[in-house]
Amino acid sequence: MKRNKWIITTILLIIVMLTACGTKKQESVKTKTQEETKENTEEKKTTEEYVAGTSQDDATLIPEGKKITGKLKSYEEGWYSFKTGNDAGTSYSISFLVSTMQGKLWCNLYDESGTKIEYKPSFDDGKAETITLDNLEKNKTYCFSLESATNATIGYTFIVRNSNEDVTVVNQNISESKGKLQDEDIIPGSNQYDATLIPLGTKVYRELEKNNHNAWFAFTTGDEVGDIYNITIINRSNDVRSVFCSLVDEYGEVLDSENSSDDGKASTIAADQLDINTTYYVGVTTDEASTTEYSLFVKDSNSENTAYRTVENVPEARGTSNTDEIYAGSNQDDPAWIPFETEVSGTVKKGSGKAWFAFNTDENSDTTYKITLTNHTQDSYAVYAILRDEFGESIGKNIVCSGGKTATTDFTKLKPNTPYFIQLLTDVNSTNDDKLEYSFMVKTSNDKNVLSMNAKKTFEVPFEINETQIQFVANKATFIDEATAKEVLKPVAEAILANPDNAVLISGTTATYGTQESCVELSNRRAEAVKNLLVKTYKVPDSQLQTVGLGYEADPFERGADVNSNGDFVESEGKKNRRVVILDVDDPIAQEILR
């Protein structure tokens, strides 16, 4: 009996021990799971959850390389902290900015004892300011306060980085420009870290609203060392003295700046020492109190491109205005496009630089262009004609013509198939009259080109209609908005109907997506859709129109880089390649396509 009791007791003891071990194991597993959950939660923690502390004692610990946002009430402080790593000699930086339209922000850095190490202000221009520190101790906690210095609630954004990290701060949800926009598809950011990314070579047209004089854009450089990036801005407002443009790196350092005045000339920052595959920021501002119109584009001038250039407006494509009279433009964005061998006359106000004309060179690089200027106002000082490229740089000698005289200048080595601009201006005190009368003419040494001009081609330059103007249903030849398509194609139809003897080619192209065979078929159907709309809506003769689908491999025109170096498709660039291009059948480019 005692032995049985001993056996039972032993069995019970073993059961208790096993149960305890199991419980301990379960608790261990549970603890580990809780720790993993905690770690995962930290990884998923968003910037909004990093709520600032109210003092150094409860400063919020933030990770390096993460963009943090927050708000401060009037003269309020927000406290954060970060830990240095194990490596001695590591450089740390705190980049911060005011993300609202008003306010001033101070950043004050302290060590563990509360001693202030560094401080710096940031203003409401949307540009980042950076505190850089090279002598912080390793494995230490440092605190910094962001202090509002304005009588209003302000927003802020900041990021802490060390020199061992590769972090580029750019908003990942930014809208991207698709070309010359007539709607609200592209809204510039109000600060550097909310900048709107624009593709290289794409011109955007925007305006600075009254009392909102900060606009921010961003662009990404390519992978070619030594490329020159031209950031070009044009002040399109006649009554605004200056529009300022600044090129800024991710730390807020201003690399260069330009001022576009009210003479309508393009102003360009030529940046030749930018890092490859890096995001840079462009800030646009003005000190005027009125709404300001401007255009902006960023171009990689070193990119070798043998593709043909297209334009996105009918007047430039036609090479002249639709009427017998040619009226000077007020800025380099809106010049009067003039034909060769045609005398242009008009008046220009004294001291004014707002008479703008333009012409497209032919396909020959050895053509000489002769500009003849006459000042018809007797006893006056000079009228000047300045030839400029698209970046606003003057080309060759200026043409200077005093009262009652004629002057001529030859221009050689102009780039083929390229627009050039003529700016007319006068001396401020050139005459007692308010205006000077002038006339000028552009001639060319290429007799073949003159004959071509006299033949009155419908389109001197291929005219592009892309997704900016009209859109198709995905993978179909159906217009998303047929009414808009009709409106866009109306001036095209008018140009074609004005030249009934000229046949026109409508070429469809696609993004680099899918097989070439399927893209040829799709682009051909879309070209046919454009043709059918012109025929049915505007009664353009069917016999005057030809269509062709090029897909992407046979596209001879300038294309967006819609496949990056990793082989990934870039939608923002792909949008530029889904288009139809309209040009004369007799154009050498059209003949090349048809062959």
What was the pLDDT predicted at 379? 79
CA distance linking residue 484 with residue 404, whole number of Å? 50
Average pLDDT over residues 104-129: 95
Tens of pLDDT, residues 30-41: 333 344 433 444
What was the pLDDT predicted at 177? 39
Grouping H, G, I as helix, E, B as strand and the rest as coil, residue 56 is helix
Instruction: Give the CATH class of 60-162.
Output: mainly beta
Residue 179 in this model has a pLDDT that exceeds 50:
no
What was the pLDDT predicted at 326? 75
What was the pLDDT predicted at 183? 37
Those residues whose C-beta lies under 8 Å from the C-beta of residue 126, and which sit 6 or more positions away, are: 97, 98, 99, 189, 190, 191, 192, 214, 216, 283
Read off the DSSP letter of residue 192. Answer: G
Residue where the block lists tokens 């801005």: 233
Q: Which of 7-21, 271-285, 431-445 has the highest mean pLDDT?
A: 271-285
8 vs 23, residue with greater confidence: 8
6 vs 594, residue with greater confidence: 594
Average pLDDT over residues 75-82: 96
Residue 20 in this model has a pLDDT that exceeds 80:
no
Residue 181 in this model has a pLDDT that exceeds 70:
no
What was the pLDDT predicted at 34? 41
Domain boundaries, the chain: 60-162, 183-300, 320-444, 463-594
Q: At 447, is the pLDDT very low, low, confident or very high (cuts 50, 70, 90)? A: low
What was the pLDDT predicted at 455? 57
Q: Could you give the C-alpha distances from 265 to 217, 235, 352, in angstroms and in order?
A: 21, 7, 12
CA distance linking residue 436 with residue 438, whole number of Å? 6
Instruction: Give the CATH class of 183-300.
Output: mainly beta
DSSP per position, 8-50: HHHHHHHHHHHHHHHHHHHHHHHHHHHHHHHHHHHHH--GGG-
Residue 279 in this model has a pLDDT that exceeds 80:
yes
Average pLDDT over residues 487-513: 93
Helix, strand, coil percentages (3-state) for the chain, rounded to 5, are 20, 35, 45
User: Which of 440, 513, 438 lies closest to 475, judged by CA?
Assistant: 513
Average pLDDT over residues 525-547: 95
What was the pLDDT predicted at 12? 52
Grouping H, G, I as helix, E, B as strand and the rest as coil, residue 80 is strand
Q: At 161, is the pLDDT very low, low, confident or very high (cuts 50, 70, 90)? A: very high
Average pLDDT over residues 511-533: 94
Indicate left, alpha or beta for 211 from its phi (over 0: left) and psi (-120 to 50: alpha).
Answer: left
Average pLDDT over residues 248-258: 96
What was the pLDDT predicted at 352? 61
Q: CATH number of the domain at 320-444, out of 2.60.120.380, 1.20.210.10, 3.30.1360.20, 3.30.70.360?
A: 2.60.120.380
- Least reliable range by pLDDT among 84-98, 256-270, 396-410, 561-575: 561-575
- Architecture per CATH, 463-594: 2-Layer Sandwich (3.30)
What was the pLDDT predicted at 439? 92
Check for a shared fold between 60-162 and 463-594.
Answer: no
What was the pLDDT predicted at 4? 52
Kind and range of the H or E element at 531?
helix 516-538
Share of the chain above pLDDT 90, in %: 50
Share of the chain above pLDDT 70, in %: 82
